[in-house]
Structure 1
Amino acid sequence: MGKFNKTGKRGMPELNTSSLPDLIFTLLFFFMIVTTMREVTLKVEFKVPQGTELEKLEKKSLVTFIYVGKPGEEFRKKMGSESRIQLNDAFAEVAEIQDFITQERLSMKEEDQPFMTVSLKIDQDTKMGIVTDIKQALRLAYALKINYSAQPRQ
């Protein structure tokens, strides 16, 4: 029979961390796939009208959005309840649209600039006068490809 030596203290075995980078990259990949990034914080409320002859936009990177609608609840006391224009993350006036379009065009690649489309996301209760003013400003900025956002009629 053998003798067992109990003089040496048994330590805890080390944790194997060789698969830890694989787990981290798997989680990173999962969150990159699932997460969507919102580019613009909406400050106006709008309900787009319904339409029948709708087409999807091909290249979203070539689309610039102009939002028109009533200011959100937190902005109504300051801005009123009339329809307002939102360009990116700020309220704007019709006179600022030309500069906005110029800046958006300059931020695109030169070969993509002729294909720039301006999409108008306008509340269905907005008066046509503000839409006409926006279209005139777009005409002065040479943004002649205009898209009106709508949802399918049910």
Structure 2
Amino acid sequence: MSKFKKGGKGELPAISTASLPDIVFMLLFFFMVATVMRDSSLMIENQLPSADQVEKLKKDRTIFIYAGKPSSQFKQFGEEPRIQFNDAFIGVDDVKPSILQGIADLNEELQSKVVVGLKVDKNTNAGLVSDIKQELRKANALKVMYIANTKTEQ
């Protein structure tokens, strides 16, 4: 009489799925951290002018205003250059309230350091830019920068 039985055919044990939720949550956390959310979708044509001296600023204290002709998806708004703030077209009279609202939405310590970035299409007339600057003065947003491409990015 033998102590050990000869096992016939040994079946493979089932795959343990105990660690599967951990793996799923790690992947979910990774993609949540690594994904960059877009601030706003561009509704205008925006070919920036070129410049030879460009400086980068931190985006956390910057509010952007776009100006240019509506893109092909938004031709129902006409052919005239328009102003875009966040995801909406605004008029010249709406620049001041929009900027004040944008400043109020920032962190309290950044509100005094806010910089308004103008991303103006190179084919936009200077009158619209001048009107935007006048409204920014009324809103006391005096730190203004013009966004441009470097000469190599054309």
In structure 2, C-alpha distance between the alignment counterparts of 1:34 and 1:103, rounded to whole Å: 29
**1:12 to partner: Cα distance:** 7.9
Give the Å deviation of 1:13.
Answer: 4.0
Q: Distance in 2 between matches of 1:146 and 1:122?
A: 12
Q: Which residue of 2 aligns with 1:32?
A: 32
Q: Secondary structure at the match of 1:82?
A: coil
Gaps of 5+ in 2: none
Shift, 1:41, TM fit? 1.3
Q: 1:124 maps to which residue? A: 122
Deviations 1:15-48 (A, max 9, x none): 3123213321332244235422111011111100
2:113 to 115, 120, 125: 115
Distance in 2 of aligned mates of 1:13 and 1:5:
15
Q: Give a deviation string over 1:86-140, Cα, whole Å, max 9, x none.
A: 0111101010011011111111222211100000001001000000000000000
1:21 maps to which residue? 21
1:64 corresponding residue in structure 2: 63
Aligned to 1:45: 45
TM-score normalised over the length of structure 1: 0.86
The secondary structure found in structure 2 opposite 1:45 is coil
Report SS of the residue matched to 1:71.
Answer: coil
Residue-pair matches, total: 149
Superposed displacement of residue 61, structure 1 = 1.4
Q: Which residue of 2 aligns with 1:139?
A: 137
RMSD across aligned positions (CA): 2.2
Q: Percent identity?
A: 44
Structure 1: 5+ residue stretches without partners:
none
Sort the Cα spacing of 1:137 and 1:72 in 2 relative to 1 into closer, same or farther, 3 A.
same
Give the Å deviation of 1:147.
Answer: 0.9
Q: Which amino acid aligns with 2:92?
A: V
